[in-house]
Structure 1
Amino acid sequence: MKTDDCSLVVESPYPDLVINIGAVTLGEGNRNKLQKTQREQEKAKVTQAACALLNSGGGVIWLEMANEDEHPVELGLDLEQSLRALIQSSDLHAFFETKQQGRCCYIFVKSWSSDTFPEDSSVKPRICSLGTSLYRRSGTSVLPIDSREAFTFLKTKKRDAENSPINEGSPSSEIPKAGHQILESRPAHQVFQRDRFEYGEVLPFPESQFTEFKQFSTKHIQGYLKSLIPEYVPAFANSGGGYLFIGVDDKSKKILGCAKENVDRDSLESLIAKAISKLPVVHFCSSQTPVGYETKIIDVFHREKLYGYLCVIRVEPFCCPVFSKAPSSWMVKDEHVCSLTTEEWVDMMVDTGPELTEAFESQLSHRPPSCRPVYSKKSLEHKVDLQQRLFPVPPGHLQYTPESLWKELSSEHEGLEELINEQMRPFSQGILIFSRSWAVDLNLQEQQGVICDALLIAQNSSPILYSVLREQDVDGQFCTRTAFTLKQKLVNMGGYTGKLCVMTKVFRLSPESHAEPLSGSGSPVDYPTSYNLADTQQMEALLQSLVIVLLSFRSFLSDQLGCEVLNLLTAQQYEIFSKNLHKNRELFVHGLPGSGKTIMAMKIMEKIRNTFHCEANKILYVCENQPLRDFISNKRICQAVTRKTFMKNNFKEIQHIIIDEAQNFRTEDGDWYEKAKSITQREKGHPGILWIFLDYFQTSHLVDNGLPHFSVQYPREELTRVVRNADPIANYLQKVMQVIIKNPPFNIPPGSLEMLREAQWAQGVRGNLKIVACLDLEQMVVQVAEKCRFFLRNGYSPKDIAVLFSKASEVEKYKDKFLKEMKKKKVSEINDASILASHILLDSIRRFSGLERIIVFGINPRVAEPAIFNNLLLCLASRAQKHLYILTLSN
Structure 2
Amino acid sequence: MHFVCTCNLLPYQPSFNGFSCRMNTKEYNSSLALELSYPDLVINIGEVTLGEGNRKMLQKAQRDQEKARVTQAVCALLNSGGGVIRMEKANKEERRVELGLDLEQSLRDLIDSSNLQAFFEFDQPGRSFYIFVKSWSGHPFAEDSSVRPRICSLSSSLYCRSETSVLPMDSKDAFDFLKKRKAKILGKEPSGESVNVLNQNLNNLRLADLVFQKDHIEHGEILPFPECQFIEFKQFGTKHIQEYVKSIIPQYVSGFANSGGGYLFIGVDDKSRVLGCAKENVDLRSLESVIAKAISTLPVVHFCCSEPGVEYRTKIINVFKGRELYGYLYVIKVQPFCCSVFSGNPKSWMVNGKDICSLTAKKWVGMMTGPEPELLSDLAEAFESQLSLSHRPPLCRPVYSKKGLEHKVDLQRHLFPVTSDPLRYTPESLWTELSSEHEGLEELINKHMRPFSQGILIFSRSWAVDLNLHKKEGVICDALLIAQNSPPILYTILGEQEAGGQGYCTRTAFALKQKLVNTGGYTGKVCVMAKVLCLSPQCTTECLEGAVSLIDYPGSYSLGDTQQVEALLQALVIVLLGFRSFLSDQLGCEVLNLLTAQQYELFSTNLRKNRELFVHGLPGSGKTIMAMKIMEKIRNVFHCETRRILYICENQPLRNFVRKKKICEAVTRKTFMRDNFKDIDHIIIDEAQNFRMEDGDWYWKAKTITQRAKGCPGILWIFLDYFQTSHMCPSGLPSYSCQYPREQLTRVVRNADDIAKYLREIMQAIRENPPPNLPSEYLAMSHEAEWVPGVAGNITIKDLDLEEMIIYVADECHFLLRNGYSSKDIVVLFSTASEMNKYKDKFLKEMRKRKFSQIDDESTFTDANLDSVRRFSGLERNIVFGINPSTAEAAIFDNLLLCLASRANKHLYILRLSN
CA 1:341–1:833 in structure 2 vs 1: closer, same or farther (change >3 Å)? Answer: closer
Matched, 1:44 2:64: no
Task: Determine helix, strand or coil for the equivalent of 1:510.
Answer: coil
Task: Supply the distance in 1 between the matched residues of 2:520 and 2:81 (Cα, whole angstroms).
Answer: 11
- Given candidates 433, 445, 462, the residue that maps to 1:437 is 462
Instruction: Name the SS of the counterpart of 1:802 in structure 2.
Output: strand
Rate the CA distance shift 1:657–1:394 in 2: closer, same or farther, 3 A: same
Q: Give, as a single letter, the amino acid of the residue that structure 1 aligns with 2:311.
A: G
Aligned to 1:27: 51
Contact 1:805 1:858 in 2 (8 A): yes
% identical equivalent positions: 70
Could you tell me how far apart the structure 2 residues matched to 1:744 and 1:119 are? 67
SS at structure 2 position matched to 1:60: strand
- TM-score norm. by structure 2 comes to 0.93
Q: Over residues 142-180 of structure 1, what are the superposed CA-to-partner deviations in whole Å (9 max), with x where a residue is unaligned?
A: 111111111111112122233499x9xxxxxxx9xx99x
Question: Deviations along 1:471-515, whole A, 9 cap, x unmatched?
Answer: 152412111001001101111111111101000111121178987
Q: Secondary structure at the match of 1:539?
A: helix
Q: SS of the counterpart of 2:479?
A: strand
Unmatched runs of 5 consecutive residues or more in structure 1: 168-174
Q: Whole-Å Cα distance in 2 between the matches of residues 412 and 717 of structure 1?
A: 24
* 3-state SS, counterpart of residue 823 of structure 1: helix
- Which of 477, 486, 508 lines up with 1:452 in the alignment? 477
Match of 2:567 among 541, 554, 578: 541
1:234 paired with 2:254, answer yes
With over 3 angstroms needed to count, the CA separation of the structure-2 counterparts of 1:831 and 1:812, relative to structure 1, is farther
> Could you say if the C-alpha distance between residues 512 and 39 of structure 1 is closer, same or farther in structure 2, counting changes exceeding 3 Å?
closer
- Kept after mapping to 2: 8 A contact 1:414/1:513: no
2:874 aligned with 1:850: yes
Alignment of 1:623-642 (within 5 A): 623-642=649-668
After the TM superposition, which parts of structure 1 deviate over 4 Å for at least 4 consecutive aligned residues? Answer: 115-120, 181-185, 511-517, 830-835
- Residue of structure 2 in register with 1:276 after alignment: 295
Counterpart pick for 2:42 among 9, 18, 41: 18
* Residue of structure 1 aligned with 2:385, choices 362, 380, 384: 362
* Letter aligned with residue 606 of structure 2: N
Q: In the alignment, what sits opposite 2:413?
A: 388
- Counterparts of 1:883 and 1:152, CA distance in 2: 38
Q: 2:606 aligns with which of 556, 559, 580?
A: 580
Contact 1:448 1:474 in 2 (8 A): no
Task: Decide whether the 8 Å contact of 1:508 with 1:515 is kept in 2.
Answer: no
The secondary structure found in structure 1 opposite 2:852 is: coil
d(CA) in 2 for partners of 1:728, 1:654 = 43
Give, in whole Å, the separation in 1 of the partners of 2:463 and 2:289: 61
| Counterpart position of 1:347 | 366
Q: What is the DSSP-based 3-state SS (H/G/I as helix, E as strand, rest coil) of the residue aligned with 2:900?
A: helix
Change (3 A) 1:512 1:408: farther
Residue among 525, 529, 532 paired with 2:558: 532
Change (3 A) 1:193 1:832: closer
C-alpha distance after superposition, 1:838-876 (max 9, x if no partner)? 5x5211000000000111110000000111111101100
Deviations 1:599-653 (A, max 9, x none): 0000001101111111112111111111111111111111111112222233222
Looking at structure 2, the residues matched to 672 and 81 of structure 1 have their Cα atoms a distance apart, in angstroms, of 70
**Partner of residue 88, structure 1:** 112
Partners of 1:302 and 1:793 lie apart in 2 by 65
Q: Does 1:71 align with 2:95?
A: yes
What does residue 170 of structure 1 align with?
Answer: none
Q: Equivalent residue for 1:172?
A: none
Distance 1:454 1:599 in 2: 27
Counterpart residue type for residue 735 of structure 1: E
Q: Which amino acid aligns with 2:822?
A: S
Deviating more after overlay: 527-536 vs 365-374: 365-374
**Number of positions where the alignment pairs a residue of Structure 1 with one of Structure 2:** 877
The answer to whether the 8 Å contact 2:848/2:861 transfers is no
Match for residue 209 of structure 2? 189
Q: Which moved further from structure 2: 881-890 or 50-59?
A: 881-890
Deviations 1:770-799 (A, max 9, x none): 0111023x4322221221122222221111
Secondary structure class of the residue paired with 1:520: helix
- 8 Å Cα contact 2:204-2:225 kept in structure 1: no
Q: CA deviation at 1:352?
A: 4.1
SS in 2 for 1:149: helix
After superposition, the Cα gap between the structure-2 partners of 1:90 and 1:834, relative to the gap in structure 1 and judged at 3 Å, is closer
Q: Is the 8 A contact 1:13 1:481 kept in 2?
A: no
Quote how far apart the aligned CAs of 1:41 are.
1.0
Stretch moving more, 657-666 or 217-226: 217-226
Please show how residues 420-569 of structure 1 align to structure 2 within 5 Å.
420-471=445-496, 473-475=498-500, 476-510=502-536, 518-569=544-595
Residue aligning to 1:619:
645
Q: Say if 2:823 and 2:858, in contact at 8 Å, map to a contact too.
A: no
Counterpart CA distance in 1 for 2:119 and 2:714 is: 48
Matched, 1:609 2:628: no
8 Å contact from structure 2 (residues 496, 539) kept in 1: no
Q: Which letter does structure 1 place at the counterpart of 2:617?
A: G
Question: Once the 2 structures are TM-superposed, how far is the Cα of residue 716 of structure 1 from its aligned partner?
Answer: 1.4
In 2, Cα distance between equivalents of 1:380 and 1:810: 38
Write the letter of the residue equivalent to 1:193: Q
Unmatched tracts of structure 2, length 5 or more? 1-20
SS in 1 for 2:549: coil
Please say if residues 183 and 241 of structure 1, whose CA atoms lie closer than 8 Å, have aligned partners that are also in contact: no
Contact residue 7 and residue 337 of structure 1 kept, 8 A: no
CA distance in 2, matches of 1:408, 1:182: 81
For the 8 Å contact 2:885–2:897, the answer to whether it is kept is yes
Residue of 707, 717, 724 corresponding to 2:733: 707
Take 1:352 and 1:148, find their aligned partners in 2: how far apart are those partners? Answer: 18
Which range is displaced more, 787-796 or 874-883? 787-796
Return the offset for 1:109: 0.4
2:591 paired with 1:571: no
One-letter identity of the residue aligned with 2:906 = K
Q: Is contact 1:414–1:511 with CA below 8 Å preserved after alignment?
A: no
Alignment of 1:731 with 2:731, yes or no, is no
The AA in structure 2 aligned to 1:579 is: T
- Specify which of 347, 350, 364 is matched with residue 328 of structure 1: 347
Question: Does 1:309 find its partner at 2:336?
Answer: no
The CA deviation string for residues 224-258 of structure 1, in whole angstroms up to 9 with x for no partner, is 111211111110110011111111121x3211111
Q: Once the two structures are superposed, what CA deviation does each residue of 1:86-109 show, in whole Å capped at 9, x if it has no partner?
A: 111111111111111111111110
One-letter code aligned to 2:385: S
Partner of 1:754: 780
SS in 2 for 1:621: strand
Of the structure 1 ranges 392-401 and 472-481, higher mean CA displacement relative to structure 2 is found in: 472-481
Residue 518 of structure 1 aligns to a residue whose secondary structure is: helix
Equivalent AA in structure 2 for residue 42 of structure 1? E
Aligned-CA RMSD value: 2.2
Alpha-carbon distance, 1:410 to partner: 1.2
**How many angstroms does 1:68 deviate by?**
2.5
Partner amino acid, structure 1, of 2:260: G
Q: Displacement of 1:69 after TM fit?
A: 2.8
Q: Distance in 2 between matches of 1:80 and 1:801?
A: 56
Counterpart CA distance in 2 for 1:833 and 1:560 is 10
Superposed displacement of residue 17, structure 1: 0.5
1:60-102 CA distances to partner (integer Å, 9 max, x unpaired)? 1111110123311111111111111111111111111111111
Deviation at 1:454, TM superposition (A): 0.3
8 Å CA contact retained: 2:818, 2:855? no
Give, as a single letter, the amino acid of the residue that structure 2 aligns with 1:64. E
Counterpart of 1:662, as a letter, is A
Query: Shift in Å at residue 705 of structure 1?
Result: 1.4
Contact 1:360 1:378 in 2 (8 A): yes
- Which residue of structure 2 aligns with residue 2 of structure 1? 22
- 2:110 partner amino acid: L
Measured against aligned partners, the alpha-carbon deviations of 1:685-714 in whole angstroms (never above 9, x if no partner) come to 212111111111101111221222212222
- Give the Cα separation in 2 of the matches to 1:481 and 1:109: 20
Q: CA deviation at 1:579?
A: 0.9
| Structure 2 SS opposite 1:249 | coil
> SS at 1:78's partner residue?
helix
**Distance in 1 (alpha carbons) for counterparts of 2:338 and 2:800:** 49
Q: Which amino acid aligns with 1:209?
A: Q
